[in-house]
């Protein structure tokens, strides 16, 4: 009896490779002595950014200016074209925050290596007091000068 063949996607390979590389780097202890403080600050920046999506009401322009680099690139998955720049990111955010919707980005796990922060999340839509559509997401953030330079989400 033969086993069924399971297709492996680029996304799965990327996520597995990225997670493996981060884990290997952490295990090898190749971090510079001062990088732990930088990594902690980078993780806190990403946590604060994720929390801002649940503000009532969320302010897309403030989120962009407070957390994103001027030349940020944002990718909300492989079905939505990436955008570049704070203004374009704010407009993309607004397209998801219409009709009084907010988002609960519940972080399950986070790891960092230098400027890269990766989190596993469950993102849910909040409309009025209802929380719906929980979706498992992996977010990869690159931090530069205390701001998010790149953000890519993988569902």
95-148 pLDDT tens trace = 988 778 899 999 999 999 999 999 999 999 988 888 888 999 999 999 999 999
pLDDT at residue 30, as a whole number = 42
Q: Would you say residue 155 has pLDDT above 50?
A: yes
Contact 147, 67 (CB under 8 A): yes
CATH hierarchy code of domain 10-154:
3.10.450.50
pLDDT at residue 19, as a whole number = 53
pLDDT at residue 24, as a whole number = 43
Which is more confidently placed, 17 or 44? Answer: 44
pLDDT at residue 13, as a whole number = 45
pLDDT by residue (tens digit) across 12-39? 544 545 555 454 444 444 444 456 999 9
Count H helices, E strands: the chain? 4, 6
pLDDT at residue 29, as a whole number = 44
Q: So where are the chain's domains? A: 10-154
């Amino acid at each position: 009896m033969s086993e069924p063949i399971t297709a492996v996607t680029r996304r799965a390979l990327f996520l597995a490779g990225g997670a493996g590389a981060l884990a290997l780097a952490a295990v090898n202890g190749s971090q510079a002595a001062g990088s732990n403080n930088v990594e902690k600050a980078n993780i806190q920046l990403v946590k604060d950014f994720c929390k801002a999506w649940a503000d009532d009401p969320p302010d897309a322009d403030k989120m962009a200016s407070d957390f994103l680099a001027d030349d940020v690139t944002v990718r909300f998955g492989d079905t939505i074209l990436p955008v570049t720049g704070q203004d374009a990111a704010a407009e993309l955010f607004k397209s998801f925050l219409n009709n009084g919707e907010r988002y609960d980005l519940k972080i399950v796990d986070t790891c960092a290596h230098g400027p890269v922060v990766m989190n596993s999340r469950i993102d849910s839509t909040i409309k009025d007091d209802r929380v719906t559509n929980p979706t498992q997401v992996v977010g990869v953030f690159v931090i530069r000068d205390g701001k998010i330079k790149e953000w890519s989400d993988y569902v």
